[in-house]
Amino acid sequence: MAGKKPISLRKRVTGAVLIACIPVFVLLFVINAYSIELIQQRIYENTYDAMSLNMAQLDNDLSRASEYIVSEGQEGRYAADFSSEDSRTSYLGAIHYMEEIRERVLLYDMVEGILVYSPVNGRKIYTFNSHSSDFSEREQMLEYIVRNREELLLKSGIWNVCSPGEKKFLVCAAGNDEIIIAAWTSFDTLMTPVQNWKMAENSTLCFVSEEGERYTEVAPELENLNYAGDISQYYYAGENNQYLMFGVHSDAGNFRLIDVVEREALLSVFYQIRWLCILILLLFAAVLLPWMLKNLSDGVFVPVRRLEAGIEQVEKGNLDTVIAGGHSSREMEHLIRSFNNMTGQIRELKIQAYEDEIRRQQMQMNFMQLQIKPHFYLNALNLINAMAQNDDVPMIKKMTENMSAYLRYLTNTKDGVTTVREEVEHIGNYLKIMEMRYGDMFHYEQSVDERAEEIQIPPLMIQLLVENSMKYAFNFYEEVHLSVCVSVEEGEMICTVTDNGKGYPEEILRHFREETAAPEGHIGLWNCKTRLAYMYPGRSSFELSNLEPHGAKTEIRITISTEEREQS
């Protein structure tokens, strides 16, 4: 962007070093974070599979027990006898039930006890497993079942969480108004096989409700964690997310099993790598980067600054400038010596270079002028031949007069310059020839400001613009209108050629906008622009454009010098 101050070499090199290094450190942190997430995901998948398998075994044992409870509660073989008001019949039913529930309780590893109770006669029998709770907790459980039998029967066959005392229990009951049969177990009993599961190190398992209420004891630092998170995926808990939480639901009851894993102990290696990256980054910023910039400054930045100062002096025309040497790199010292030698050679070759440049420009102008070749001679001769065949003597006379004037101008322009007046008169002869050739299909107009008549321009310049307009504007089916206007405005001579044709191809406009070499077959316009630049350095412009809705416009602007103003 014009006017924007260039960035110094020091800033560019420093920026390049930072741009090269920072992404490396960022990549290390990203890889480290991704590795942590990947390891956590793998641990979750393995833990979830193990927990699901073992929970399925617990659920299976509880489901088998609940199926038995429901079966006996609805169709018990000894229910009628057990609930009979006849003491002998009730006693016999109690004996049968006692034998059966003693066998049954041994079949269910997770069940602590089974109770059979009849509210009709108040008889109850029960049996316990070998790993059941202590005596007081058993008594509390028996009393709870008897006291809350109606509420339990509303949830027949479902394992419900209850609190007969301080501990949490699961109870499943079934029956009717005459008999109720129930089984129970504690979460501590369910934890017995869980403690033997092979899980991740530093993990803690516990049973909780779906709302996050804990049913088993955990370490004090784990008591206030969020146990109600979404266990469809692992989640974080604790201060600074220091714990990973995995979990599975139970199909047998309204509770879940949660595994709490300490992240730092599990992923200690990755956290050590992260701290190592931070340490390396700090070391780089505090030691390596300053050391590297110091070496670059002594070996590159300071010598380049001396070289830049010398170049600035040369740009101002001081070719006697000599850059002093210093303690820098071998390459920079060689560059400085070469610069000093180069300025000495420039001093010696300056006059010769000026002379060579003048000769080269003159040769190039002569060559470009030779490039301009009128291309309508054959067409004009064919037109004269056609007039002769029609005995059109006046038109032949008019044609030959214009043609001779046209050729006379071409042969007399040997000095490399002409005036606007002479060029416009020559263009008038050319346009009259074109009018005779195309008849009513061609119309033109010319206007010249008197103040511009004596301004000097390259010969055949305006003719080239007119020929170019004819090239793009002519159409056998539509009338062609061409206008040549030379005016003076605000110290500038403006020559404009317009037509009503299809306009310039976009490719030509693009080449002139970007100032790239003209494509093959369009060298004339490019040569015209170059000739103007040589003849009026810094004082001329050459522009091509298209008109709306159609047509082309070619415009030349030349700033008039004081001498030219006085002459005009």
The DSSP code sequence of 402-444 is HHHHHHHHHHH--SS-EEHHHHHHHHHHHHHHHHHHHGGGEEE
Cβ pair 552, 472 in contact under 8 A: yes
How far, in Å, CA of 451 to CA of 134, rounded?
125
Given a cut of 50, is residue 474 above it in pLDDT? yes
How far, in Å, CA of 403 to CA of 158, rounded?
118
Return the pLDDT at 6. Answer: 58
| Averaged pLDDT for residues 512-522 | 68
Cβ pair 236, 248 in contact under 8 A: no
Given a cut of 70, is residue 526 above it in pLDDT? yes
> What pairs with residue 544 in β-bridges?
554
Cβ pair 208, 227 in contact under 8 A: yes
Cβ pair 98, 127 in contact under 8 A: yes
pLDDT band of residue 374 (cuts 50, 70, 90) is low
How far, in Å, CA of 16 to CA of 7, rounded?
12
How far, in Å, CA of 555 to CA of 546, rounded?
11
Return the pLDDT at 459. Answer: 84
φ and ψ of 99, to 5 deg: -65, -40
Query: Going from the N-terminus, what domains does the chain have, and what CATH number goes with each?
Result: 8-266 (no CATH), 271-368 (no CATH), 372-567 (3.30.565.10)
Given a cut of 60, is residue 2 above it in pLDDT? no
Rg (CA), the chain: 53
Return the pLDDT at 498. Answer: 93
pLDDT band of residue 274 (cuts 50, 70, 90) is low
The structure tokens listed for 355 are 């002379």
DSSP state of 285: I
Given a cut of 90, is residue 171 above it in pLDDT? yes
DSSP state of 217: -
| Averaged pLDDT for residues 156-181 | 90
* Range of lowest pLDDT (85-89, 128-132, 392-396): 128-132
389 by DSSP, 3-state: which?
helix
Return the pLDDT at 549. Answer: 85
Residue environment code for 231-242, b if the CB has 16+ CB neighbours within 10 A, otherwise e: beebbebbeeee
141 by DSSP, 3-state: which?
helix
pLDDT band of residue 372 (cuts 50, 70, 90) is very low
| Averaged pLDDT for residues 483-507 | 90
What is the percentage of the chain residues whose pLDDT exceeds 90?
A: 13
Cβ pair 557, 455 in contact under 8 A: no
pLDDT (tens digit per residue) in 352-369: 655 555 555 554 454 444
Mean pLDDT across the chain, nearest whole number? 80
pLDDT band of residue 287 (cuts 50, 70, 90) is confident
| Averaged pLDDT for residues 539-566 | 85
Checking DSSP bridges between strand 480-489 and strand 540-546, what pairing results, if any?
unpaired
pLDDT (tens digit per residue) in 426-437: 999 889 888 888
pLDDT (tens digit per residue) in 16-68: 766 766 777 677 667 767 776 777 778 778 888 888 888 898 899 999 999 98
Cβ pair 350, 407 in contact under 8 A: no
The DSSP H or E segment spanning 156 is none
Is the overall model pTM greater than 0.95, yes or no? no
